[in-house]
Every structure is written in C-alpha cells, then in structure tokens.
Amino acid sequence: MKSIMIVINRLTGVTTRRNRALRYSNDWAESINHFLKTRELSENIDINKFLEHGGEVMFEITVLSHKGRTLVRQAGNLKDKQVAELIRVMTGYLDSIRRYLFSPAAQKEKLRQTLINLRTSCQDLQKILAEI
C-alpha cells in the first residue's frame, strides 16, 4: 500500500510541491532571522537604533511581507497546516511594523511588542520546520 502511495505522489507531484514549500518556508524564515540579526533585534530591542535606518527597514519589511503573503498558499501543501497559519501571522506582524514606522514616536511600545512577537514566531516557525 505504501509503495502505491509513493508512486501516486510521484506521478501527481505532491512530494515535489511539499519539498518546494518546505524549502521556500525555510528560506523565508532564514530571511526573517537574518533581518532580525542585521538590525540587532535578535536579543535586545533598541528602537532608536532600529529607527535610524527607517527607509531601509521599510523596504526590507515590504519585501519580506510580500514574500510571506505569496508563501502562505505554497505552505498549505505541507502536512503541518500550522506552518501556513504561522506564516500568515508573521506577515501580519511585518505589516504592523511597516505601519508603525510611519509614526514611530507615537507607536514605540507597539513597535517593540510587535518586534518581540515577530522574533518569537520566527523561532517557533524554525522549530516546526526542523521537525518536518
């Protein structure tokens, strides 16, 4: 029975779609992690230092958010449906950060909390992907 399922999966391309979704999800999680490390947000969050590069940060967040939105559909091919939902939540955090950057003085505490949530979600996503 198992060998029949393997043949069917190969013929329909299910395995290829799952592997591609896993690879893209891992790459996106690594991109988020790289962003957090580059902006020195992986441990302590210094909002003022983060805001010094507002234009660059806005561009990076826009790119990451766009990639995340396109990835949600592909991540649905994975057996663990929690991955797609977590990517959707992280994309929401990225969009919130982008909105907060328009008025950072008024939104500093929300920005700090959203960055913490993004970092935590990224770690959770990497754990889930490592188990798949």
pLDDT in tens, 37-75: 998 887 888 888 888 888 899 999 999 999 999 999 988
pLDDT at 80: 81
For residue 71, how far is the Cα from the chain centroid? 9
In a domain? residue 3? no
Spatial distance between the Cα atoms of 41 and 34, rounded to a whole number of angstroms? 10
In a domain? residue 84? yes
Spatial distance between the Cα atoms of 108 and 17, rounded to a whole number of angstroms? 40
pLDDT at 47: 82
In a domain? residue 1? no
pLDDT at 5: 76
pLDDT at 45: 80
In a domain? residue 11? no
pLDDT at 41: 84
> For residue 40, what are the domain limits?
16-131
In a domain? residue 5? no
pLDDT at 53: 84
Determine contact, residues 94/68, Cβ cutoff 8 Å.
yes
pLDDT at 108: 83
**In total, how many domains does the chain have?**
1
pLDDT at 128: 93
Counting as low any pLDDT under 70, the low residues of the chain are none
